[in-house]
Homo-oligomer: A and B are copies of this chain.
Amino acid sequence: MIENLNGIGQRVRASFDQQALMTLIGAQLVSVSRGAVDIEISFRNDLTQHNGVLHAGVITSVLDSACGYAALSMMPEGSDVVSVEFKVNLMRPADGDAFMAEGRVLKAGRTLTVARGDAYAISTHGRTLVATMLATMMRLNPG
């Protein structure tokens, strides 16, 4: 199974590395397993919204990628993934030194996959849930 997990990790990493936005905002792929992908991002002043915390759009970007790659990790080789839709609840200000977005597959289907993503702020105070996403991802067949 390690073989297989490695294969999944390589496919996800190859696609993640093509997401130029992840480089721009400094997001890092930290963990990939079947149906579960974690992405981390550090606080930076140029990623903030008017009140000084991380922009909701940045939190959404990493949650979207985490959910999308969690979905991709359960699709057959050669598949590609796109986001159909997502909903995000911003529960607390995204106030922390770093943030972890954890994408988890709830239901993997042939065409559609439903995933949940939780974003945690990490600081010296600990780990706080700041946002949660519920997303629908679609498998695209290879060209």
A15 proximal to B (CB < 8 A): yes
What's the minimum C-beta distance from A86 to chain B, rounded to whole angstroms? 6
Judged by a CB distance under 8 angstroms, whether A87 is at the interface is yes
Asked whether, in the complex, the Cβ of A50 is within 8 Å of the Cβ of B18, the reply is yes
Determine if A132 is an interface residue (Cβ-Cβ < 8 Å): yes
A77-94 vs B: 1/0 string, CB under 8 Å? Answer: 000101111111111110
A114 touches B136 (CB 8 A): no
- A106, B91: Cβ atoms closer than 8 Å: yes
A19/B129 in contact, CB under 8 A: no
- Stretch with Cβ within 8 A of B (4 or more), from A2-10, A59-67, A119-127: A59-67
Q: A20-B46, A20-B55, A85-B88 are in contact. List 12 more A-B contacts (CB 8 A).
A: A19-B49, A21-B48, A55-B61, A57-B57, A57-B64, A85-B90, A87-B87, A87-B88, A89-B114, A91-B106, A106-B129, A132-B134
